[in-house]
Structure 1
Amino acid sequence: MADIADFANDLVQERIDLALAARKAQPVFASLELCVDCGSAIPLARRLAVTGCTRCAACQQLNEQVGTRYAR
């Protein structure tokens, strides 16, 4: 016989499944070959590892450092 904890677990699992399905349904954008900031080529390994990347590793790191300064 199921109790309230079982019902709660089923509800949580259903919501997790729905969230994962929604995430998988999002369109995947191809990575750019050239960095939008500096124009240098983005290495193939980075383009494959980070789907949809638009910056080279150096520009991305700089962008994240600048972003953390203004996030506070």
Structure 2
Amino acid sequence: MADIADFANDLVQQRLDQALAVRAAQLSTTTLHSLMFCDECDEPIPEARRLAQPGCTHCVDCQSADDLRASRYAR
């Protein structure tokens, strides 16, 4: 027998699903342009990276360093 908490959880899940669907639709219509040169070190960003990661602004080395830095402080 469903109670009010189950109903509330179902309603919340439905709203989350709707919000995620709207966001996914917006992201798919937005064209992201990758930079030709890294924002940090000004080295060229390889074409393979620009195609694989649309909207990238850093080369692989700088992005790796940034991710490592962020993971240390994300607690």
Q: TM-score, normalised by structure 2?
A: 0.67
Q: Which of residues 59, 62, 67 in structure 2 aligns to 1:64?
A: 67
Number of residue pairs matched by the alignment:
63
* Residues 27-46 of structure 1 mapped to structure 2, 5 A cutoff: 27-46=30-49
The CA RMSD over aligned residues, in Å, is 2.2
Please give the per-residue CA displacement for 1:2-53, whole angstroms capped at 9, x wherever unaligned: xxxxxx7xx85xx646633432323222000000010000000000000100
The TM-score with structure 1 as length reference comes to: 0.70
2: CA distance between counterparts of 1:71 and 1:21?
A: 28
> In percent, how many aligned pairs have the same letter?
34
Could you list the runs of 5+ residues in structure 1 that have no partner in the other structure?
1-7
**Is 1:19–2:9 an aligned residue pair?**
no
Distance apart, 1:58 and its partner CA: 0.4
Secondary structure, aligned partner of 2:69: helix
CA distance in 2, matches of 1:59, 1:68: 14
Q: 1:42-57 counterparts in 2 under 5 A? A: 42-57=45-60
In structure 2, stretches of 5+ residues that fail to align are 1-9
SS of 1:58's equivalent?
A: helix
